[in-house]
Amino acid sequence: MATYKPQYYPGSTKIAKNRKKYMDPSYKLKKLRTISDDDLVKLMGHRVPGEAYKSVHPPLEEMGEPACPIRELVEPTPGAKAGDRIRYIQFTDSVYFTPLTPYMRAWMGHNRYRGVDIGVLSGRVPLEARERDLEKVAKDLVETEIFDPARCGIRGATVHGHALRLDENGMMFDALRRFVFDKKTGEVVYVKDQIGVPLDKPISVGKPLKEEELREMTSEYRVDGVPFREDKEMIEFIQRLHMLRTEAGFDPNKVKGI
Amino acid sequence: MAKYPDKIDLYDDRGRVFASKVPVEALSPLRNPAIQKIISYVKQCVSVNLEGIEKALATGEVGGKWCIIRGRSLKLDLVKNAESIADSLKNCLQVTKDDDTDVKVLKGGKHLLVQVPAKRLNAGVEYTTGFTATAAALCCTIVENFKVNIWDADMVHAAVWGRYPQTMDPLGGNVSSLLSVPQQNEGMGYALRNVPCAHIALITKKNAMNAAALSSILEQAAMFEMGDAIGNFERMHLLGLAYQGLNANNLVYDIVKENAKTGTLGDVVVSTVKRAIADGIIKPLEKKASGYTAYTTEDLNKWNAYAAAGLLAGTMITCGSARSMQHCPSVFIYFNDLLERETGLPGVDFGRVAGTGVEMAFFSHSIYGGGNPAVFNGNHIVTRHSKGFTIPCVAAAVALDAGTVIYTPEKISGTVGETLSEVPELREPLRYVNEAAVSIHGGI
């Protein structure tokens, strides 16, 4: 057998390399800030910090499971074991050089986390999981380099803003004004949780990253950054797939060795 | 003589080898006697909710919820007399004494599992005979056995048939079949695809391997009926049925086992690619400047079968670890996205599963209404596009759910799933199809 090493993503540009890096689970995402567990719980707004997890069904051990070889093999996540509800965290990523594009959140998430349900829409990306599993994943998503306080929004509802111009402080538009720029500290502060319910105390998510840094670490192709069309290898890949899908639809037997 | 050179090893649902080097055509719906029996049972077997009829007659609530006809009620002890009803019903349905008619009394008389004789179906062109013969015979039986007079017979009809024929289907009726009325099929040959995954999960008693197998059998048999699995495309469907649905070469089970404790969906993609390389299905084509290697294949149909098996394994890992069905559309999109990016080769069903996943994600997450995965089927407007490769994974996901949805498979399926799980070939299709494949092996 030829030595095979997962390659995750094609492409020759800086953007492709960044994509590959984030998608590779062996790459440890750089931690840039610390958000306490309680603050994260408050930001998501599904339960009060310290409150027990609500459940949607009894713990698996108590309820017993049907005789199924797959259930016997596949280890449930801690949240599934306990019967936690399924809850979500949702992000809006600005089109202006954010670390992750919407699709990247799904590709990266499915490579790094187990038992997650990620959906990609035009302006928002929800990640759903059993509640205690979600809280672990959310920590990574907010504390590390894939989150920029100014250009990524934690937004459960009224997500609009990803394609709008940034404001004078470099912040993405938010119709619910969940986050504000604190000029004194230079930090971004959440004053409302992800669906817009006011928080008792503001929660700081740290200083926005610099434009130059973001341009280096982004996974977005942009005409005013690294345009998609500059990545010949990537274009070849897309065209190849399109061709293979189409020809296979006509006659799969004729697609050989190409 | 075999049309195709492919030979496979058959395994059971626990990864134990059953037979080796069996021609893939032994699993074809055109050849395999167990698959043909399963299809016959789907047409012949009908579920009767005697308790429902008794309640409808007692309250006058016939033809759908809240449809109560005041002053019209009949107190008939149907459940208590289930055995005698079953005998009379059998007599009424039988064509000859030794035919395959059968009526089983289940749950202390609350339900009946009726098998309409094949002779009745053979004398018509529609599969609806199973339903119509049972419903009509049941009306006759109740009228006769309980001496219902001419003025009350209409209530018996309404309790059994529901609001039909005012409605297209037997709305609020108490006789049900796995198959929907033909008018509800999206196109020609869709009948076997119009079976909600809730039924499949319950029939197979939530054994995810058997749920996937039964669903795959129905879906791929429908491909033959629809005109998809023929000519250039027949082998693709046969291999898909074998590797994805029936665990050929233990591919699905092996990949699940490899990732069972800590694996992510991405890890399943890697396992699938590794196995495809190891088995010589794909090989490197060229290395790009970035170091990225695109892969190629001499057998795209087999690559599709490997990818489809990986997709099912990915569903089992993701939905299985979360014990939740709602994750499956996300698996359909991103398993394929990741697989395509990993290899440069098309994903399952050459892109159609990924597309189906996009639509299903919208319609199964309360974005545009819809419902949970248990209501979906191969005839559903947003999940009919993949040619038999998506729905088996949905069925497995539903089987693996521990109770995360409001409308449970039990609620959606009603009596049908539970009743039909009494038919061994439907409940454990892997076993029966494997046995049948071995029995005809020599003839192929």
Local confidence pLDDT in tens for the 258 residues of chain A: 458 999 999 999 999 999 999 999 999 999 999 999 999 999 999 999 999 999 999 999 999 999 999 999 999 999 999 999 999 999 999 999 999 999 999 999 999 999 999 999 988 999 999 999 999 999 999 999 999 999 999 999 999 999 999 999 999 999 999 999 999 999 999 999 999 999 999 999 999 999 999 999 999 999 999 999 999 999 999 999 999 999 999 999 999 888
pLDDT at position B242, please? Answer: 98
Query: Could you tell me which residues are beta bridge partners of residue A179?
Result: A190
C-alpha–C-alpha distance, residues B391 and B358, integer Å: 14
Q: Would you call A130 and B324 a contact, using CB atoms and an 8 Å cutoff?
A: yes
- pLDDT less than 70: residues of chain B: none
Q: For residues B350 and A249, is the Cβ–Cβ distance under 8 A?
A: yes
pLDDT at position B441, please? Answer: 80
**CB-CB neighbors (< 8 A) of A11 in chain B:** 290, 292
Q: Do domains B7-31+190-443 and B46-177 have the same CATH topology?
A: no
**CB-CB neighbors (< 8 A) of A6 in chain B:** 270, 273, 342
pLDDT at position B86, please? Answer: 98
Structural domain boundaries of chain B? 7-31+190-443, 46-177
| Nearest Cα to Cα of residue B388 among B209, B224, B202 | B224
Q: Is the domain A14-51+85-249 a CATH 3.90.320.20 member?
A: yes
B15 touches chain A (CB under 8 A): yes
Distance of CA A168 to the CA centre of its chain: 26
pLDDT at position A1, please? Answer: 47
For residue A169, how many other CB atoms are within 10 A of its CB?
13
pLDDT at position A2, please? Answer: 53
User: Which residues of B belong to the active site?
Assistant: 368
Q: Would you call B341 and A1 a contact, using CB atoms and an 8 Å cutoff?
A: no
Probe site for chain A from B323, B339, B404, B407 (most A CB atoms < 10 A): B323
Fold entry, domain B7-31+190-443: Methyl-coenzyme M Reductase; Chain B, domain 2 (1.20.840)
Distance of CA B73 to the CA centre of its chain: 37
Gyration radius of chain B over CA positions: 23
**CB-CB neighbors (< 8 A) of A10 in chain B:** 288, 290, 292, 294, 341, 344
Question: Least CB-CB distance to B326: which of A69, A117, A133?
Answer: A117
Structural domain boundaries of chain A? 14-51+85-249
Identify residue B68 by its one-letter amino acid code: I
C-alpha–C-alpha distance, residues B343 and B347, integer Å: 9
Query: Could you tell me which residues are beta bridge partners of residue A55?
Result: A84
Q: For residues A125 and B361, is the Cβ–Cβ distance under 8 A?
A: no
pLDDT at position A200, please? Answer: 96
pLDDT at position B136, please? Answer: 98
The CATH number for B46-177, chosen from 3.90.1170.50, 3.30.1360.20, 3.30.70.470, 3.40.1350.10, is 3.30.70.470
- Above 0.95 for ipTM, yes or no? yes
